Amino acid sequence: MTKRRSASSEKSTAGPPADKVAVAIVGAGPSGMTMAIALARHGFSVALVAPALPAHDDRTTALLDSSVEMLRALGLWADVEPHTAPLRHMRLIDATGRLLRAPEVVFDASELKLDAFGHNIRNSELNSALAAACGQEASLLRIEDRLAHVETGTDGATLVLESGRQVEARLVIGADGRMSAVRTAAGIAAKSWRYPQSALVLNLEHEVSHHNHSNEFHTPTGPFTLVPLTGRRSSLVCVEQPDEAERLFAMDDETLSLELERRAASILGRMRIAGKRQVYPLGGMTAETVAANRCALVGEAAHAFPPIGAQGLNLGLRDVAALAELLVAARSKGEDIGSDAVLARYERARRPDIASRTTAVDLLNRSLMSDLLPVQALRSVGLYAASRVPPLRRLLMREGIAPMMARPRLMRGLSLS
Ligand SMILES: Cc1cc2nc3c(=O)[nH]c(=O)nc-3n(C[C@H](O)[C@H](O)[C@H](O)COP(=O)(O)OP(=O)(O)OC[C@H]3O[C@@H](n4cnc5c(N)ncnc54)[C@H](O)[C@@H]3O)c2cc1C
């Protein structure tokens, strides 16, 4: 193999023979595991390289309908669903207290003839179900290790792991999160930015049923969003100025519960903090391309943005679905799955969706923070129209779940072959 690029100055040393697979995936978060299962189910030999799962991740993810459709198509939904709460209604409440305020808007999944917009689940439960499914795939080799560096060549790539073990593959998929080592190895630059906000994230038990309503209060510092979990529980993402997020984080459970109940206008009654709290500084990142040098990126390795509007992983799963579809098609035509032509097709397929979602989340977030009257007026008029004009409501709801232009076959419940 002609060596074309090395991610570090280290050289691969002689050792035991390398594992040889068609595709090596780095990262076993939800994007990497779903990618591994989709490819193994379609007959690819796959290595999945990542350290063991963290024992606890109290964050939750709202899987929108198109992602649910994909998990269903892969036969994973039956194991995931019991841990989820359906999101049937979405209420947007203007809590900016400004002169120009938007009317309250409630979207209802039944208007789209759906049972729910999506389903909310704790990441640890989603990851456990996906890890169990990975364990069932005969052509999937799970390697608990970290990537040290990648050497890419004209006909394949060699991954060198921290233990010294090596894996050879036609294609490397970077599902290794925001700080992706695969992205660096492929020589792909990324643009990052920060917002003057942090998110306090935690789960709550509450007295009153959420009735499957997701409640999003729009405040001048960002959204305060309560998303249903199973039972009388909800997850909270409270976007605040960094100092205020730290102040809330430092409160004792009782004081914080009362403060959150006040901010939620008591719609869920008395609240109790359940589990750990976390604070995330808000920022975004976009890779300049999602594929180069025998490497393709999926999930947060390719794009990251604030936890607003439940878009991050749903966008990542669309990467997974699109890449799986392209690879199955390339193989059926006898193409090299890691070739520049296939990678260029993946970039073309994903760029519009990634660019439009990144812009939409950015605009929504900045419109809340803006003190400019014209921006507030535009937001209010937009939400007023959304509350009154049925076709616009349906368009917004449908596009919020997944853009029509970016629904790979798996997200329409179709098989790939
Ligand atoms: C508070 C919060 C709420 C959110 N809510 C939602 C939501 O409701 N809906 C939604 O769609 N999205 C949501 N998101 C976004 C979502 O959580 C992320 O998009 C998603 O977790 C990214 O998954 P991933 O698999 O791409 O990356 P990650 O989950 O970051 O996984 C990366 C993997 O790579 C591994 N790794 C890293 N480096 C290496 C290496 N060198 N070698 C080997 N392995 C490596 C890690 O161990 C890990 O297994 C939210 C995010 C936050 C912060």
The CA-based angle 201-205-206, given to 5 degrees, is 115
Confidence of residue 7 (pLDDT cuts 50, 70, 90): very low
What's the pLDDT score for residue 9?
35
Distance separating alpha carbons of residues 393 and 385, to the nearest angstrom:
8
Q: Please tell me the distance between residue 195's alpha carbon and the centre of ligand 1 in angstroms.
A: 19
What's the pLDDT score for residue 361?
82
Distance separating alpha carbons of residues 158 and 207, to the nearest angstrom:
55
Phi, psi torsion values for 218, nearest 5 degrees? -90, 115
Closest to 317 in 3D by CA, of 357, 276, 266, 275:
357
Among 7-11, 81-85, 275-279, 303-307, the least confident range: 7-11
For 137, 152, 216, 337, the CA distances from 43, given in Å and listed in that order, are 10, 23, 42, 13
More confident: 306 or 139: 139
pLDDT digits (tens, 9 = 90+) for 235-251: 999 999 999 999 999 99
pLDDT digits (tens, 9 = 90+) for 261-272: 999 999 999 999
Q: Residue of the nearest CA to atom 15 in ligand 1?
A: 312
Please compute the mean of the pLDDT values over residues 293-310 and round it to a whole number. Answer: 92
In the predicted structure, residue 14 carries a pLDDT above the cut 70: no
Q: Which helix (H) or strand (E) holds 106?
A: strand 105-108
Confidence of residue 401 (pLDDT cuts 50, 70, 90): low
In ligand 1, the atom with minimum distance to the C-alpha of 299 is: 26
CB within 8 Å of 361: residues ≥ 6 apart? 284, 305, 306, 308, 309, 311
pLDDT digits (tens, 9 = 90+) for 111-168: 888 899 999 999 999 999 999 999 999 999 999 999 999 998 889 999 999 999 999 9
Query: What spatial distance separates the first Cα and last Cα of the chain, rounded to whole Å?
Result: 31
CB neighbourhood size of 246 (10 A): 13
What's the pLDDT score for residue 153?
87
pLDDT digits (tens, 9 = 90+) for 91-104: 988 877 665 566 67
Confidence of residue 387 (pLDDT cuts 50, 70, 90): low
pLDDT digits (tens, 9 = 90+) for 166-180: 999 999 999 999 999
Is there a contact between 23 and 327 (Cβ–Cβ < 8 Å)?
yes
Paired residues of 21 in beta bridges: 169
Q: Please tell me the distance between residue 127's alpha carbon and the centre of ligand 1 in angstroms.
A: 10
CB within 8 Å of 410: residues ≥ 6 apart? 38, 69, 70, 73, 74, 321, 324, 325, 416
Q: Is the CB of 200 under 6 A from ligand 1?
A: no
Closest to 88 in 3D by CA, of 63, 67, 118:
118
Q: Which helix (H) or strand (E) holds 69?
A: helix 65-73
Instruction: Give the residue, out of 150, 160, 163, 176, with the most ligand 1 atoms within 8 A of its beta carbon, to mutate for a pocket test.
Output: 176
What's the pLDDT score for residue 1?
46
Please compute the mean of the pLDDT values over residues 276-289 and round it to a whole number. Answer: 95
Architecture of domain 3-192+284-412: 3-Layer(bba) Sandwich (3.50)
Q: Is the CB of 245 under 6 A from ligand 1?
A: no
Distance separating alpha carbons of residues 323 and 337, to the nearest angstrom:
10
pLDDT digits (tens, 9 = 90+) for 317-353: 999 999 999 999 999 999 999 999 999 999 999 999 9
In the predicted structure, residue 6 carries a pLDDT above the cut 90: no
CB within 8 Å of 397: residues ≥ 6 apart? 107, 109, 111, 112, 117
Mean pLDDT value across the chain: 88
The b-or-e profile of 115-154 (16+ CB within 10 A means b, else e) is ebbbbbbbbbbbbebbeebbeebeebbbbebebbbbbbbe
Distance separating alpha carbons of residues 222 and 216, to the nearest angstrom:
10
Q: Residue of the nearest CA to atom 49 in ligand 1?
A: 28
Q: Residue of the nearest CA to atom 38 in ligand 1?
A: 176
In the predicted structure, residue 384 carries a pLDDT above the cut 70: no
Please state whether beta strands 271-287 and 233-240 pair in parallel, antiparallel, or not at all (unpaired).
unpaired
Q: Please tell me the distance between residue 173's alpha carbon and the centre of ligand 1 in angstroms.
A: 15
What's the pLDDT score for residue 111?
82
pLDDT digits (tens, 9 = 90+) for 37-51: 999 999 999 999 999
What would the DSSP string read from start to end of 257-292? Answer: HHHHHHHTTTTT-SEEEEEEEEEEEEEEEEES-SEE
Please compute the mean of the pLDDT values over residues 253-265 and round it to a whole number. Answer: 96
Q: Please tell me the distance between residue 270's alpha carbon and the centre of ligand 1 in angstroms.
A: 31
What's the pLDDT score for residue 133?
97
pLDDT digits (tens, 9 = 90+) for 185-212: 999 999 999 999 999 999 999 999 999 9
